[in-house]
Chains A and B, each alone.
Chain A
Amino acid sequence: MKIAVCIKRVPDMETRFRIAASGTAVDEAGLKYDLSDFDGYAVETALQLNEKQGPGETVVISLGPDVVQEQLRKALSMGAERAVQLKADRVPTDGLSIARALAAELKDGGYDLIFFGRQAVDSANATVGPMVAEMLGLPCATAVSSLDISSGRGTARRDLEGAAEIVDFALPAVVTIDEGMPRARYPSLKGIMAAKKKPLEVRAAQLGDESLTLEKMELPPERAAGRIVGEGPGAVAELVRLLHTEAKVL
């Protein structure tokens, strides 16, 4: 099968972020970057499908400046055959712009499946996958935690709060991948060497006008210091009262 996986470069989310001087971005100094977690699952899912189902092609696509080539190379070293960078000075805030550029790239690609992570772990919009599906007129299964593909159809499980859905759809289709799918393999050292020789095409991203812009970014307010209401069993009544009347959690 021919599978496209759209991936995003994201900062390590365990970082203590600072806001850059512009006020509309995080300060990139000292940040480490990697493939977004869910995108890693998506690459792994594509590789395993093609490994199981015989000859196929996994193509990874990322939109952004040249630094995204690092994540594309990582996916190539995991085993993807080919990579495409849709070059842009920055990754727009507007998911619609990104979806437009990706749809233009994917439209005539002849893909059986187009994978995304459920959401990028940094911006957490979860919009680009469904928008691309809409633009291409394809079925879209989101937040999929298991997937079976046979005879030109897909069956996917979606784990929801307190329930699960099983959905069925015809290929080609767009699928956004959630936890539950296999974790990304470690790029093997041979894979890393082989990735050097694999094709990585660079094309200008056709973003169009942005319909949504980022105005301001701010850190969550500092948490106020805790309050000690008393000590020992005698303080329990007061604590319960405050949890009830002030914190309103009881």
Chain B
Amino acid sequence: MQDFFDIDSVLSEEERAVRDSVRQFVDERILPIIGDCYVEGRFPREIIPGLAELGVFGANLPEEYGCAGLNNVAYGLIMQELERGDSGIRSFASVQGALVMYPIFAFGSEEQKKHYLPKMAAGEIIGCFGLTEPDFGSNPSGMITMANEQPDGSWILNGAKMWITNGSQAKIAIVWAKTNGEKSDKSIRGFVVPTDTPGFTAKDQKGKLSLRASDTSELVFQDVRLPKDAILPKSGGIKSPLMCLTQARYGISWGVIGAAMACYEEALAYSTSRVMFGKAIGGFQLQQQRLAVMLTEIVKAQLVSLHLGRLKDAGTFTPQQVSFAKRNNCDIATDIAREARRLLGANGILAEYSAMRHMANLESVYTYEGTHDIHTLILGQTVTGLSAFT
């Protein structure tokens, strides 16, 4: 779409090059198939090698672990471009990079990092992240999944996780569990669980009307025995998984801009070609209002995420700022997708166009990784100093 605020001028040449390369990949390899994948309810696994070759998995992690070593703005631009394709594709990359590679990088031993990260960057090992449980979504501290240490140092894991992206195709799961019978969230630790371990089962969640081109599963652990070195040694307390979510939410704040851009571009093109009452519908004030609002909100969201990325690169960003960006950008993207669908009239309900697919996807993105409401409470607490969670 048109760079209305000349944001390109404050991106580096490498940042633009990264975006353009991923953009071309999405245009040529994802957009032609994604409508069908969505209708069929199929994640397009065939694109994994291409994405790996491009280097999108864990792209902001260091080169010594086989990653691209990009800054966070370039990483954000990758998320934007992937979600311009589909939120399910971006979710796949977010989970692989921010929710599996990042915790191994941040909380893992050197052996774990050397073993997993290069293979995950290469797409040879796909991961998933298990935090949410059937009865504990917005309140992860209440989780009941439990890992108990055995006399020989091994662990026995029991419990269940729900809404797990990549769950059925993952080779490893990062599972967050309370430990040794303690109910406090301080006992939460992360474990690297190979999904072929006896007692581990993953089941596709059926009946999704959103993120249909994404694998979403339920995980069950029944006396899953894990070796001593399955634990992420530097993980400790609920703070550890929340740090992962901060990484992923940062990427989401960029990603949804991509979905909004796709909807805006589609709506704009449609408005100038669709003729009704003898002229292009873009010539009617009601449609111009829609387009003007879309453009305005997209540019504002881009500036928020870009500035947040610069703060993240400087090491000064806060989780509350990430909540701000995730909350705002998902909100405006959801609105933009719906307005684009409306502008497209009856055509807007077809899979041939992208607006309704994005609209349905974004309802999930609005809800996952901290619902809109929870981020509202985080901001409310931040400015008032008063918690309204309970």
Contact = CB atoms under 8 A, between A and B. Distances in A.
Contacts of A189: 18, 21, 54-56, 59, 68, 70, 74, 78
B370 to A, nearest CB: 28
Q: For chain A, which range describes its interface: under 10, 10 to 19, 20 to 34, or 35 or more residues?
A: 10 to 19
A189 B2 CA distance: 24
B54 A74 contact: no
B111 interface: no
B182 interface: no
B55 A196 contact: no
B381 interface: no
B17 A190 contact: no
Contacts, number: 48
Interface in A2-34: 30
B135 interface: no
Interface of A: 30, 70, 73-74, 77, 186-193, 195-196
Contacts of B21: 77, 186-189, 192
Interface residues of B, number: 20
B353 interface: no
Q: Secondary structure at chain B's binding surface: helix, strand, loop or mixed?
A: helix
A188 B49 CA distance: 12
A185 to B, nearest CB: 8
Contacts of B56: 189
Contacts of A195: 17
Nearest to B59: A189
B152 to A, nearest CB: 42
A192 B25 contact: no
Given A186-B50, A190-B63, A193-B70, 16 more contacts: A30-B2, A73-B17, A74-B17, A186-B53, A188-B21, A188-B53, A188-B54, A188-B55, A189-B55, A189-B56, A189-B70, A190-B68, A190-B69, A192-B68, A193-B69, A196-B14
Contacts of B17: 70, 73-74, 77, 187, 192, 195
Interface in B8-64: 13-14, 17-18, 21, 24-25, 50, 53-56, 59, 63
B24 A186 contact: yes
B73 to A, nearest CB: 13
Contacts of A196: 14
Contacts of B69: 190, 193
B116 to A, nearest CB: 18
Residue of A74, A77, A192, A195 with highest tally of chain B CB at under 10 A? A192
B55 A73 contact: no
Q: Which 7 A-B pairs have the closest CB atoms?
A: A189-B55, A189-B68, A187-B21, A192-B17, A188-B55, A190-B68, A186-B21
Contacts of A191: 55
Residue of A70, A186, A195 with highest tally of chain B CB at under 10 A? A186
B13 A70 contact: yes
A192 B24 CA distance: 14
B7 to A, nearest CB: 14
Nearest to B29: A186
Contacts of B55: 188-191
15 contacts: A73-B13, A186-B21, A186-B54, A188-B68, A189-B54, A189-B55, A189-B59, A189-B68, A189-B70, A190-B68, A190-B69, A191-B55, A192-B17, A192-B18, A192-B21
Contacts of A186: 21, 24-25, 50, 53-54
B14 A192 contact: yes
A77 B74 CA distance: 15
A193 B18 CA distance: 9
A190 B68 CA distance: 5
Contacts of A30: 2
